[in-house]
Every structure is written in C-alpha cells, then in structure tokens.
Chains A and B, each alone.
Chain A
C-alpha cells in the first residue's frame, strides 16, 4: 500500500514540476473554449446553450492529448520496467498512475471550468452542473485513455493514435455528461438519470481501464 502511495506522490510531483506539463492541459482547454466563439459567432444566447457541450469537448480533448506521456516517459528512462518488476500488480500500478495523472491534469480542468464558463455566458445552475459532471466524468476519460496509452507505449509516434483509438469509447461519457449538464436548464429533476449513468460509466471505466491498460503494457514491455 505504501508503495502505491509513494508511486502516487512521485507521479504527481513529476507532473507539476518543470517539464511535467500538468498545466498545459488547462491552457489547451482555455484555447479550445476561446476558439469556439470565433467559429459559431459571438451570440451569447447561442453560446449559453452550447456552453456545457463546449466545456465537455474542451475537457475531452485536453484530457486525451495529454495522455500519450502517461507511460511513455517512464518507459523511456526505464522506470516502467523497474515498477513492473517490483512485484506490485500492474493493474494497481496503472490505476494509481491514472489517478495521479487525473489529479495533475484532470482536476485543474474541473477547477478551471467555472472560470471559462463565464466566457460562454452560462447560468449559475449550468455552471454548477457542468462542474459536477466534469468532476465525475473526467476520471472516466483518464481511465479509458490509459488503455490507449498502454497500447501505444512502445511506439515512436503514438501521439495521434491514442485519441483515434480511445475517442469511440469516450462517447458514452460525453453523452451522459452533456445531457446531465444541459438538463438543469430546463428541468432540475432530469439531471439525476444521466448523472447516475455517468457515475456508473466512471466506475466501470475505473475497473476495466486499468485491467486493459495492464494487459496492453505486458504486451508492450517484453
């Protein structure tokens, strides 16, 4: 257990220090959100209606684009082989690494979302619901993404391949996340069903993601 805690602390530290790129995701998120009004026009009513969808798309892309380094950096310097050979179950390692990655890159996205939602003229209820769905949903994106990161760990140019492989599996997260966020605008009671489904998707992803990622890593390591 203490080994896992040490791994978690190490991962978070590596991510937030220079060269870790933890805040790069938030910056990318900001840029996606501020580019959308140029594409759809500065109509505040329209932006307010699209707001949750825009935030979700931004968070999805920001999460997926940062994922190719999840295992790659550790593989390049040999740390991954040491971790794999330490006798700890690889599934647990993948889970802890994904959790640490989410703490460093996913959580800032959730915290930044209310600020960025002001650009999109969103109402307070929608801001709250969007933040809540992002908090529950972005871990699912990281767990699913860890499968892609595991699959492409041994590749030189795996960068664009991870989003291609993983985006289809993120569609349920996006559907339930956006429908729960937007439901609040019309009927607060309609929030619960998609929100609970989103929680379920996250829990399933927390189990299947690390198992599949560990299976993929075993294939890539030997």
Chain B
C-alpha cells in the first residue's frame, strides 16, 4: 500500500486503487448510515423543538460536507496550478456536482427546519446568504467546465476560479460570529468544547462520518468515471483522425 501521490499520477494505477478501495468504503458508509439512522431515531427530542430537531442530523453533516468538498476542490486547484498533477483537475471536476448536491441538501433541509422554528422558509441572514453564494459558485464552476470542450484546457481556468472562490469558506464559517444572525453559532467545533449534549452529539458525529465516507466514495467513483470519459474522448479523437 506504499502508493505515493506521484505514483497515482498514472491513471491506470489510480483506477486499480479505486477498484480496491470502493467496496470497503461503500460498505463502511452503509454500516455507518445504518448505525447513524438508528441512533438518530433513538435520540431524544428537543424540549423546545420537539421531533423537528432530527432534521439536524441531515442538515449539519450536509452543511459541513458542502464546505469540506469545496476545501477538497481548493486543494485540487492548488495541485493543478502548482504541481500540475494530472489527477488534480479530475478530482476538482468530479467533486463539484457532489459539493453542489450537499449544498443544495443543506439549503433545503435548513429551509424545512426554518419554517417550523423561525416561521419562515428563508431569511437573508449572513450564514444563509453565504451558503447560497457557495451554491451559485458550484453551479458557475460546473457551467465553466461544461462550456470548455477540451478538458485539459478547462483545468487552469477552473482552478483559478476555485482558488478565488475559496475566500467564501472563512466567510461562511465565521458569518455567525461576525454578524448578528438568526442562524445559531457553532455548537460542536468550539474552543471551549461542544455545547451540545452527548445524547445528540454521538448520533450527529456518526452521521457526519457517514456523510464524509459517502462523499469520498462518490468522489472516487466520479473520478473514475471522469478518467474513463477522458479516455473515451481521446480514443474518439484518434479514430476520427484516423478515418480522415
């Protein structure tokens, strides 16, 4: 298993690794989701919010993953621009739709949670707005990739845009501290320890781990598809050239 990041520049070796890793990752994801959902069902209802608090076990992991995925894309963009790693662009491109899906999930579950708790589907509050901007940036990046036909030409422009867009990540993270928002401040990752009770923290962390593994599984599969898609494109170009 001594595969360095340079050895993975060989797509065939990478595909071999994906084939070996995906069954384990997918299995672990399924087990964690099963455990997490049972724990969620058993977790206590909130004394104020009742059963609607259980939206949290979907909403919070989805929101974390929406930012984690963009962070992964930022690292991939650095990989494209600095090290010219051939798989970095594949990784960024494969991550964008997954990140957009998690962001969408976070926005929708937040909206569903906001209606009974805040009395409104949507407020123009700093946290909600910055996450909406993240969603729009994901869609813009996908649009950029879809506009440029040659994937190798799209790599650098997309990487530049990803890096510029990464300024939004700290804004999202600290929006609840910098502005007075309706959205509550962080209650899990805090300097003075989590303020959320253990009976809710455990299922939340299990669900977050399950979401993360799901994201990694989907990401590896999407990367494999992208590598294969590029091979098909290259073969198509070669045969089209040969026929001429």
Name A residues whose Cβ lies closer than 8 Å to a Cβ of B.
147, 150-152, 154-155, 157-158, 161, 164-165, 167-169, 171, 208, 212, 215-216, 218-220
Contact = CB atoms under 8 A, between A and B. Distances in A.
A155 B146 CA distance: 11
Contact of A169 (B155, B160, B164): B164
A165 B140 contact: yes
Nearest to A213: B160
Given A215-B81, A216-B160, A168 B133 contact: yes
A216 B140 contact: no
B137 A168 contact: yes
Interface in B52-99: 81
Contacts of A168: 133, 136-137, 140, 165, 168
Contacts of B156: 215-216, 218-220
Nearest to B146: A161
B154 to A, nearest CB: 9
**A-B CB proximity, top 7 nearest:** A219-B156, A151-B157, A216-B160, A165-B140, A168-B133, A215-B160, A164-B140
Contacts of A171: 129, 133
Given A150-B160, A165-B161, A171-B129, 16 more contacts: A147-B161, A150-B157, A151-B161, A155-B147, A161-B143, A164-B139, A165-B140, A168-B168, A212-B160, A215-B81, A216-B156, A216-B157, A216-B160, A219-B153, A219-B157, A220-B156
B103 to A, nearest CB: 13
A184 B58 CA distance: 44
A147 B160 contact: yes
Size class of B's contact patch? Answer: 20 to 34
20 contacts: A147-B164, A151-B144, A151-B160, A154-B148, A155-B147, A157-B147, A158-B147, A161-B143, A161-B144, A164-B143, A168-B136, A168-B137, A168-B140, A169-B164, A212-B160, A212-B164, A215-B81, A218-B156, A220-B156, A220-B157
A221 to B, nearest CB: 10
B104 to A, nearest CB: 16
B164 A208 contact: yes
A154 B160 contact: no
B127 to A, nearest CB: 14
Of A171, A215, A219, A220, most buried by chain B (CB within 10 Å of CB) is A219
B163 interface: yes
Of B129, B137, B143, B161, most buried by chain A (CB within 10 Å of CB) is B161
B147 A161 contact: yes
Interface in B123-153: 129, 133, 136-137, 139-140, 143-144, 147-148, 153
Contacts of B139: 164
Contacts of B161: 147, 151, 165, 216
A152 B136 CA distance: 18
Interface in B151-181: 153, 155-157, 160-161, 163-165, 168
B30 to A, nearest CB: 36
Contacts of A152: 144, 147, 157
Interface in B195-230: none
Nearest to A216: B160
Contacts of A151: 144, 157, 160-161
A164 B148 CA distance: 15
Contacts of A208: 164
Contacts of A147: 160-161, 164
Contacts of A216: 156-157, 160-161
Contacts of A212: 160, 163-164
